[in-house]
Amino acid sequence: MKHKAVFGFHAVTSRIRHEASSVEMIYVDGTRNDRRMQDLLALAKSFSVRIIQSDSTRLDKLCGTRRHQGVVAMAEPLSLARNLDELLDAISGTPLLLVLDGITDPHNLGACLRVADSVGAHAVIAPKDRSVGINATVEKVASGAAQTVPYIPVTNLARALRQLKERGIWVVGTSDAATKSLYDVDYTVPTAFVMGAEGSGMRRLTQEVCDELVVIPMMGSVESLNISVASGVCLYEARRQRLKG
């Protein structure tokens, strides 16, 4: 099986803790001997993960960036849910999903995965042809969430949303043009939030498939929120309602 690079302290630590058996080896900067590196090495040794002393030049080449913090793991891809049917069949409890329409920035996707993990969302869904997909940068920004939150790429987003609706999931799109506030909708039912790209928003067909459109009230001078912040606002409102109920 082909291995992929996972880099950065958060991402590598999370991968070892959750799926140590998937990690073939970790390369570490031999010049770093601070507490953070010592803790990581101790963790790796406790799980019998092979450690290879390296230099920054080799680490740069392994992950294609200098932002590795001196640690790069070579690991097998994780076996989270691979398609929408598999995901929906495996969900226990009331579904809470995040759908991203047109997110091409790896930092935004990584942050969205991190938000989804923090709120206990069951998955992040995105179209194959209009999304950055999971890469090393996404994994680093996600700080481990790429190993815990299923990321489901779909060929046709509108069709996937209809599939969610057939399963009894209420599809709620966010739009600046909506007349109903985010806070005026019941999210204790199975819910999928659909977020569009910053600036362009959701595509027309995506918007037409939604059961409902809501707007996040903006009180200040800025016109919109970063996609990961907006995702967090929506997902945590759903979680707040469910905890209250």
Average pLDDT score over residue span 79-93: 79
Number of domains in the chain: 2
Q: Where are the alpha helices (DSSP H) in the chain?
A: 9-19, 35-46, 56-63, 84-90, 106-119, 136-142, 157-166, 204-209, 227-244
C-alpha–C-alpha distance, residues 12 and 241, integer Å:
34
Its domain, for residue 221, covers: 84-244
Query: What distance in Å separates the CA atoms of residue 81 and residue 84, rounded to the nearest whole number?
Result: 8
Q: Is 110 in the same domain as 57?
A: no
Are residues 48 and 15 part of one domain? yes
pLDDT of residue 209: 96
**In terms of domains, do 132 and 224 share one?**
yes
Indicate whether 71 and 92 sit together in one domain.
Answer: no
Assess whether 43 and 98 both reside in one domain.
no
pLDDT tens per residue across span 105-124: 999 999 999 999 999 999 99
| Judgement on whether residues 92 and 202 belong to the same structural domain of the protein | yes
- What phi and psi values does residue 59 have, to the nearest 5 degrees? -65, -40
Asked whether residue 3 carries a pLDDT value surpassing 90, the answer given is no
Mean pLDDT of the chain: 90
Q: Is 185 found in the same domain as 226?
A: yes
Instruction: State the pLDDT at residue 66.
Output: 83
Domain boundary among the residues 36, 54, 75 is at 75
Whether residue 165 has pLDDT greater than 90: yes
CATH of the domain at 19: 3.30.1330.30
**Mapping DSSP to helix (H, G, I), strand (E, B) and coil, where does residue 132 land?**
coil
User: Which range is least confidently modeled, 2-6, 18-22, 211-215, 230-234?
Assistant: 2-6
Helix (H, G, I), strand (E, B) or coil at 160: helix
- Are residues 125 and 224 both part of a single domain? yes
Beta bridge mates, 98: 124, 193
> Per-residue b/e over 70-83, b at no fewer than 16 CB within 10 Å?
bbbbbbeebebbee
- Please give the model's pTM, rounded to 2 decimal places: 0.73
Confidence of residue 220 (pLDDT cuts 50, 70, 90): confident
Note the pLDDT tens digit of each residue in 124-154: 999 988 788 888 889 889 988 888 899 999 9
Is 92 in the same domain as 9? no
Domain identity same for 69 and 89: no
If asked whether residues 64 and 126 sit together in one domain, one would say no
Backbone angles phi, psi at 170, to 5 degrees: -80, 120
Q: Are 191 and 169 in contact, with CB atoms under 8 Å apart?
A: yes
Residue that terminates a domain, selected from 25, 56, 75? 75
pLDDT tier at 78 (50, 70, 90 boundaries)?
low
Return the sign of the alpha-carbon dihedral for residues 116, 104, 160, 144: negative
| Per-residue exposure over 156-180, b if at least 16 CB sit within 10 Å of its own CB, e if not | ebbebbeebbeeebbbbbbbeebee
Sole residue written with tokens 């979680």: 239
pLDDT at residue 236 is higher than 80: yes
Q: What is the pLDDT of residues 10-54, one digit of tens each?
A: 888 888 987 888 899 999 999 999 999 999 999 999 999 999 999
Residue 97 scores a pLDDT above 80: yes
Q: What is the per-residue pLDDT for 70?
A: 94
Identify whether residues 223 and 139 lie together within a single domain.
Answer: yes
Domain boundary among 28, 49, 75: 75
Quote the pLDDT of residue 216: 93
**CATH number of the domain bearing residue 133:** 3.40.1280.10
